[in-house]
Each structure stands twice: as C-alpha cells, then as structure tokens.
Amino acid sequence: MKLFGAGALLLFAGSVHAANLPNVADGAQAMTLSGKPLYSAAPGQASLDQLAAAKKNYDENPGDANNIIWHGRRTAYTGDFRGAIEIFSEGIEKFPQDDRMYRHRGHRYVSIREFDRAIADLEQAAMLIEGKENETEPDGQPNEQNIPVSSRHGNIWYHLGLAYYLKQDWDNAFRAYQNGFNAGRNDDNRVSTTHWLYMIKRRMGDEEGAAKVLDVITADMNVIENFSYHRLCLFYKGEMTMQELIGDNEDNPSGASAAYGLANWYYYTGEKEKATQHLEALLASSSWAAFGFIAAEADLALR
C-alpha cells in the first residue's frame, strides 16, 4: 500500500468530520464489513457519571485540549464512537498539531470500521511525534493495580499497526508494530506488540522471523494487564500447551484476543476449516468493538 504524503495526510485527517461518515441504520454506530448494523449496549452508570464530569469540564473551558480529549474519550467509553469522532474532529480544528487528537480519533475510526481514515489519522500522529519525548498516557479505564502501562508514542504505533493489519497490509503493519515495540516501556507493551508481530510474520509465511520475535518473551515477565497476550506468546513459543491456554472451553476461549489468536493459529498451521469455525464463533459474541472481533471480521471478509 502506498502511504500518503505528509501534506496530504494533514489535509485528509484534518478535514474529515463525522458528518462525512457513511450513513448507518438509525441508532447504530457502524456497519460490519458484511453490511450489518452494529449497536452499542446501554452504558453503565459509572461511565455516564464520568462522561458528565468530563462534559462539565469541557463546557467550562472548551478551548482546553485536555478537556476535549477527555470529553471524547469518555464519550467513546459509553459506546458513542461516532460522537467521540465529532469531538476529536473539533479538537483537530482547534489543535491541528496535537498528535493526541489524531491518535484518539484514529482509534475510534478503527472501532467503526473506517480503516483508511484511521490510517490517515494515525500516520499524521506518528509524524507529529517525531523528535518528541515519549510519555505515559493516562488510563481512562485503569487496571486492577491502577498503573498505566501504555505510552503516547506506543499507542499511536499500536493502533496504526492494527489498522494496517485489518487491511492485510502486512509490511506496514509490521513496521508500525516494530516501532510500537521500540516505544514500549514495560512488559505489557512488549507482550502486546510481540503478539501482533508474531501473527503478522506467520501470515506472511515467515515462520523463522515469527519465532525470532518471540525471543523477548519469558514466563516470568512482569505483566500487569495484558495476560492474554502473554499467554498467547508463551503458547506460540511452545512454553504453554493448548490445554493450558484455553482450559476446558476450546470452542469459546475467554476474551476476544485469546479467541482470535487461537483461530489464527489454526489458520496458519493448516486447519483452515477449524480456523473459520472459531472466527465465526467469535463474531457470534457481543464484543464487536474488541480488536480481536474486528480482526476476525476482516479475516472472514478478505479470505
């Protein structure tokens, strides 16, 4: 895939508004790649309360970049991805050099299956962070230890790699995830990016290269939240059995990431019918905004 030039990226990313998005059924957030409407579940009270607080801060000072970002993030956490895109689009108009606006809008373009727009935003964000020091990105949904594990640069590269992966542009996906790995600051970053790097190499038919990316994975890594990715990497490496990975529920392993990783494993080890069955089982779940779900959807659409 040919990348956009820097100037074109800025023009494209900065001018796209939610009003320009494809029409969807009334009340839907997106359409699946096969043309079915996707609806968000009703948000919980905690999410609504957090959104109300973020909206209050925004209303009091709509010219503050952080207020815009948290208004958009909290809106997305309620399941209103299109509304979040509107807010981040406003942020881009007000702060066209703020990489965070493109990073968060790009993420939500992935959620609603607008992969090309996600790539444009995230490539723009990657350009804007060149030469800038990396920093921890605050969590909107903290882990059990309340320790943020992701970084500003790492999240840009991670979501960019995902957007390219979903279009099966393996070379660009690998480039982005490799940059994400290099921007990683802890073991959670290393296991998450390594998982995707491994899958990309396997999809490219490079088993030797896939095995090499696993060199950094050990059983005693200090993982705080990305346990499924860690377990998958240990499985790929041969240090965890299939039974240990999935327990007693082979047909429906817990979590979209584990379910997708297992389906992919069947695919590139030659059991394609079984892979398809697992992808279809994943799409029967309700977690349509999860990355593993979206990847399963893309795989079935493009095979």
| φ/ψ of residue 136, rounded to 5 | -65, 140
- Give the HSE-up count for residue 97: Cα atoms under 13 Å, Cβ half-sphere: 2
pTM of the model: 0.91
Q: What is the pLDDT of residues 245-290, one digit of tens each?
A: 877 555 444 578 889 999 999 999 999 999 999 999 999 999 999 9
Q: Please state, in angstroms and rounded to a whole number, the distance separating the CA atoms of residues 291 and 108.
A: 11
Least confident residue range of 153-162, 199-208, 245-254: 245-254
| Contact yes or no for 222/189 (Cβ under 8 A) | no
Is the confidence at residue 243, as pLDDT, over 90? no
Nearest Cα residue to 206 out of 215, 195, 197:
197
> What span, in angstroms and rounded, lies between the C-alpha atoms of 22 and 18?
9
pLDDT for res 254 = 53
pLDDT in tens, 14-42: 444 455 787 899 999 999 999 999 999 99
Q: Sorting pLDDT into bands at 50, 70 and 90, what band is 142?
A: confident
**Ranges 14-28, 70-84, 120-134, 212-226: which has the least confidence:** 14-28
- In whole angstroms, how far apart are CA 270 and each of 19, 266, 287? 43, 6, 27
Work out the pLDDT band at 242, boundaries 50, 70, 90: confident
Q: Which two tokens stand for residue 220?
A: 């005693």
51-69 tens-digit pLDDT:
999 999 999 999 999 999 9
Query: For residue 65, which of 15, 114, 100, 109 has the smallest C-alpha distance?
Result: 100
What are the residue boundaries of the structural domains of the chain, listed by start?
1-133
Q: What is the mean pLDDT of residues 283-298?
A: 94
> CATH number of the domain at 1-133, please?
1.25.40.10
Geometric angle at alpha carbon 2, from 117 and 163, rounded to 5°: 40
pLDDT at 4 > cutoff 80: no
- Average per-residue pLDDT in the chain? 91
